[in-house]
Amino acid sequence: MLEDTAINPLPEINPVSGSLPTDGPVLEIWGGHRLSGLLPVSGAKNAALVVLAATLLCSDECRLRNIPELVDVGRMVQVLTSLGLKCRSQGTVWDIDGRTVDRAEAPYEIVSKLRASFFAIGPLIARMGEARVPLPGGCAIGARPVELHVRGLQSMGALVQIEGGIVHAAVPGGRLKGARIYLDYPSVGATETLMMAATLADGETVLENAAREPEVVDLANFCRAMGAEIRGAGTDTITVVGRDRLHGTDYAIVPDRIEAGTFLIAGAISDSELSVGPVVPEHMTATVAKLEAIGVKIIQDGADVLRVVPGDRRIGTDIETLPFPGFPTDMQAQFTTLLTLSEGSSVVTETVFENRMRHVAELKRLGANIRVKGRNAIIEGVPFLSGAPVMATDLRASAALVLAGLAARGKTTIFGLHHLDRGYERLEFKLQNAGARIERLDTPDSQAPVPETAATLS
Ligand code: UD1
């Protein structure tokens, strides 16, 4: 018999801030409104974070454009500032002066709040010959170890000790040596860490079974713009020839394929014809293929805009998350929402992260018919969802709940917005402009019962 997921009784205390997620603002969404126009796509969060970390490699000044205004970006800039870099911004443009880097130790308080700041270990050791970075620990979606990053750096000559939760890496002689490194799994973060480290290493590094994600390619393009020699980014074998120094550059981050995919689903789920852009269409292949399998037409308008044209009916389909170019794990929760409102059965299999089904319990509060068995969500389409108070449990789960709210009858109140604010730039304004009824409130409407929390149950 299949295991059923219980209704989630425990939206947890945020392990990072220690605060109850119900403390903060909420989003109220009145579903059933048609959207129209163009939903604008910001710069890619995951590319921006790693490109910011890569400015540690630069012995000069860099100008970065199209950096989304997100809580996570602010945290990465805090890491850079704590290491001595001078960072100034005007909107989405950041000027980063890498000449002044003078510390090799990333502060625990920030790394513990932003997992991606661990990726600073690669550029830091390459530039300074030493790096002390706290272990990032697990997060809401899984344990997320970093042994592939560490083993790769060791292959390049780093001596690594982990003590008191801090990874201390140092290179005798001060310079990493190029190496041939096979990654047991095409980890995005490990590929990025090692590619950055290799740009200033002595000799050639070959990364085999490397991640092929567009954000890896964007990082490689940024490093090349600084003078790095990198070939093969976007394939499973990346070759980097180390340089003595990297120079300043002016670079624009690619559009966020996950935000774009979320917006395409917003159109599909609200039965609205709308446009989404800018996008790089080749980054969207898996998402577009699954939307079409469900019965939603996606038309390319010009070079970088996709138009959603909903069909008469939506039909369930199966999805399995995989490394790029497979279906992205960061779109899994949003598609799960769409499939709850698609006819028939669907099976969604999460193969990348071990604990990425927590949105299911929240979708069930809205009337979804989903059972979870291990890494599979078995979905039976329902004709409608009904608005209810729900708790966002991680970043993409939050987006899934917003999408559900757009389609649900009545009002959906979403708690735990700190997750959403990590990765979606001004989401409610963008949706409002397209015609959605969505509002951020500082304190929850007194009518909305707050979902139970760990604290209220204990
Ligand atoms: C990045 C993205 C994240 C996305 C993920 C997969 C950023 C900031 N985040 O995360 O949004 O969901 O890619 O596309 O870019 N693993 C190990 N050992 C390691 C490293 C990873 O076992 O040393 C495992 C992880 O636990 C996970 C899998 O590999 O199960 C994929 O992780 P990885 O590709 O490294 O994801 P991140 O870089 O953390």
How does strand 345-349 pair with strand 305-309? unpaired
Backbone φ, ψ for residue 74 (5° rounding): -55, -40
Q: Which residues of 135-166 are buried (b: 16+ CB within 10 A; e: fewer)?
A: bbbeebbeebebebbbbbbebbbbebeeeeee
Assess whether pLDDT exceeds 70 at residue 138. Answer: no
Q: Is the CB of 329 under 6 A from ligand 1?
A: yes
Give per-residue pLDDT as tens, 419-435.
999 899 999 999 999 99
Domains identified in the chain and CATH numbers: 26-42+255-455 (3.65.10.10), 45-252 (3.65.10.10)
DSSP-derived letter for residue 284 is: G
User: Are the beta carbons of 452 and 9 closer than 8 angstroms?
Assistant: yes
Residue nearest to atom 13 of ligand 1 (CA): 188
Give per-residue pLDDT as tens, 214-261.
999 999 999 999 999 999 999 999 999 999 999 999 999 999 999 999
User: Are the beta carbons of 253 and 44 closer than 8 angstroms?
Assistant: yes
Write down the pLDDT at residue 135: 85
Is 87 tagged catalytic? no
Report the mean per-residue pLDDT for the chain. Answer: 91
User: Are the beta carbons of 430 and 270 closer than 8 angstroms?
Assistant: no
Q: Report pTM.
A: 0.93
Q: Is the CB of 15 under 6 A from ligand 1?
A: no
Torsion sign across C-alpha atoms 137, 139, 145, 150: negative
C-alpha 167 – ligand 1 centre gap (Å): 18
Give per-residue pLDDT as tens, 280-321.
999 999 999 999 999 999 999 999 999 999 999 999 999 999
Query: What pairs with residue 65 in β-bridges?
Result: 252
Assess whether pLDDT exceeds 80 at residue 443. Answer: no
Nearest-atom index, ligand 1, CA of 142: 26
d(CA 312, CA 382): 16
Query: What pairs with residue 64 in β-bridges?
Result: 94, 251
| Complete DSSP assignment for 27-43 | EEEE------SEEEP-B
Give the number of other Cβ atoms within 10 Å of residue 301's Cβ. Answer: 12
How does strand 305-309 pair with strand 38-40? unpaired
What mean pLDDT do residues 116-122 have? 91
Give per-residue pLDDT as tens, 366-378.
999 999 999 999 9
